[in-house]
Amino acid sequence: MRIERTKNATRNIVVGMILKIYQLLVPFVIRTVMIHMLGMEYLGLNSLFTSILQVLNLAELGVGSAMVFSMYKPIAEDDSATINDLMRLYQFYYRIIGIIILTVGIIITPFIPKLIKSDIPSGLNIYILYYLNLGATVISYCFLPIKIAC
């Protein structure tokens, strides 16, 4: 039992380190590619929309942390029924949060041009770009893949 826990803890540490390196490197690579391929204007707009959506993501209000905390006991006791119930509950919560983010995101759409201080690149519809970013955020909440335990 003790060896299994050590093995799992080591695996978690390695995966956590790989994820952290990924989270640090990928945004750097994406920003570099965007600057070279699309130009600074697109990068600025993308950063603006990312910042707006990060504020909207505050709607989560710690549901993820609560989810992790509440799962400790059922997982330790191997209580599949409780785990299934909690996962369904969290899936419901995340869908509601996604709907809230979508609604607020649509409501603030008319104010997007007022947030842009510089010229918009010609031939670019900022609303489409904003809705693409908003859609990607909402999809990550509404279609959260939750695997129910057997």
Q: What is the mean pLDDT of the chain?
A: 79
Instruction: Report yes or no: 91 and 145 within 8 Å, Cβ to Cβ.
Output: no
pTM tops 0.75: no
Instruction: Give the pLDDT score at 150.
Output: 38
143 pLDDT band, cuts 50/70/90, is low
pLDDT at 146 over 70: no
DSSP three-state, residue 122: coil
42-62 residue pLDDT tens: 767 777 788 888 888 777 777
Instruction: Report yes or no: 145 and 90 within 8 Å, Cβ to Cβ.
Output: no
Residue 133 in tokens = 């970013």
- Please state which of the ranges 48-52, 64-68, 140-144 shows the lowest mean pLDDT: 140-144
What distance lies between CA 17 and its chain's CA centroid? 19
Find tokens 């994820």 and name the residue: 19
Residue 90 CB coordination number (10 Å)? 18
Instruction: Report yes or no: 90 and 67 within 8 Å, Cβ to Cβ.
Output: yes
Cα–Cα distance, 45 to 51 (Å, whole number): 10
80-125 residue pLDDT tens: 888 888 888 888 888 888 898 899 999 999 988 888 777 666 667 7
Instruction: Give the pLDDT score at 110.
Output: 92
Instruction: Give the pLDDT score at 107.
Output: 95
pLDDT at 28 over 50: yes
DSSP tag of 38 = T
* Helix (H) or strand (E) segment spanning residue 59: none
